[in-house]
Amino acid sequence: MAGEQVSALKLTLHGQLVGYVAGYAHGRTVLSLAPSFVANRNRPALTLSLANPDTFAARADKLFPVASKMQLHPLLSNLLPEGALRQLLAQRLKIHEHNEFPLLVHLGGDLPGALLAEPIAAEGIPDAAFGDLGRLDRVAVNTVDRVAHFSLAGVQMKFSMHQRDGRYQLGDAAAPGDWIIKTPSTVHAHVPLNEYSCMQLAALAGVDTPEIRLVELGKLERLPQIKLPDEGYAYGIRRFDRAEGQRVHAEDFAQVLFAYAADKYQKASYEQIARLIYQNTYSGQRDVAQMAVRLLVNILLGNGDAHLKNWSILYPDGVSPVLSPAYDILFTRAYIPDEQRYALNMAQTKQWYEVSLEHFRRWARRADLPESPILYNLKAAIGKARELWPAALRDSPMYEGQKAALREHWRALHSDFRIES
């Protein structure tokens, strides 16, 4: 009598076997860690949730293996795209968009961070991949076509691409992308110009940002068949999880907290994120001061989308966590005119227009953070914004109607943060 069919992917991180993902015929998945990875005290960092080497093995034994239906464990689920891009992929693969194992098969060669998910031959699937679950028929993974795909989490149409001689092609396992390219939206006008301008303003105020650029649409090659508006530019941001041709491990805070993307607006507060950063990163005080500046800049730029997935940790040396550069900062109020709220709670409020320096003091106290360096950096940031932003906004490529709305937003802020222009 035949058993349930199962195929599997092996997970590796910087060349070390991390574990396996088993995918069953009826949509169940099991994530397990390899015994050799758990036993290795010199293992590369997998997640901030298992950062303590003294408790790693005990915690890992309690948490894994873990089974789920359709969705993968949040460590992996959050590496996959959301929204329109996921729908496009699901349509191409002829699967349900919530069936995540085939998506991981398809995208596993160029994921965010340094994890690789690679198919295992049927005869090579070890028992450790699924445990004692009755009679199972091991089968090879259906890889369809794993070349030239796009594997970035997020809801906008964005693609992992590598740049050669001024042109951009989709990345894949053989040539991973070193740029994230976001194409214009058919729903919201001038998003690339908006995000490019906001990221430039953020950098002027002291936010740590990667290299960014506007890319002519004609320079993008091998894009899938997607509908594009009559706009000339895509937005490009250099991938900070790639350095000198090597993968750098990274994870967003939905992964850190084992939260699914659907919970990215409600699973935690900015205090909880700050506390984790301060207690666990290599330069905790510097990183929470930088986080405070980004929180302020999100207020100043009317960005209501700084949810769990838009804060990330990097592991540049494979072990020591640091706060990643900023990304996905744009003037969201341009598209939602009555929006006036943060994505998450800070000092028991989400309201931009009531936030003052006192709220940042409360945020620091509630998260047990050093108050003085945070206030020093906040005052420096608002000083730079007041001095530099009016002229920079005037000269930016942002759509004129959005510039006017942003200036109106500045005038409505609390007096601690108001900008006259």
What amino acid positions are annotated as catalytic residues?
A: 305
Distance CA 406, CA 298 (A): 12
Quickly tell me which residue has 């961070």 as its tokens: 113
The Cα 105–Cα 119 span in angstroms is: 7
116, containing H or E segment: strand 115-119
Q: Which residue has the tokens 């303590």?
A: 52
Cα gap 348→93, rounded to integer Å: 44
- 3-class DSSP assignment, residue 216: strand
Alpha-carbon torsion, ordered 346, 347, 350, 356, to 10 deg: -100
Structure tokens at 379: 């005052």
In whole angstroms, what is the distance from residue 420 CA to residue 406 CA? 11
| Residue 264 and residue 165 in contact, taking contact as beta carbons nearer than 8 Å | no
Crossing angle, helix 400-412 and helix 371-395, to 10 degrees?
Answer: 150
* Cα–Cα distance for residue pair 301/170, rounded to 1 Å: 31
Of 304, 309, 381, 308, which is closest to residue 350 (Cα–Cα)?
304
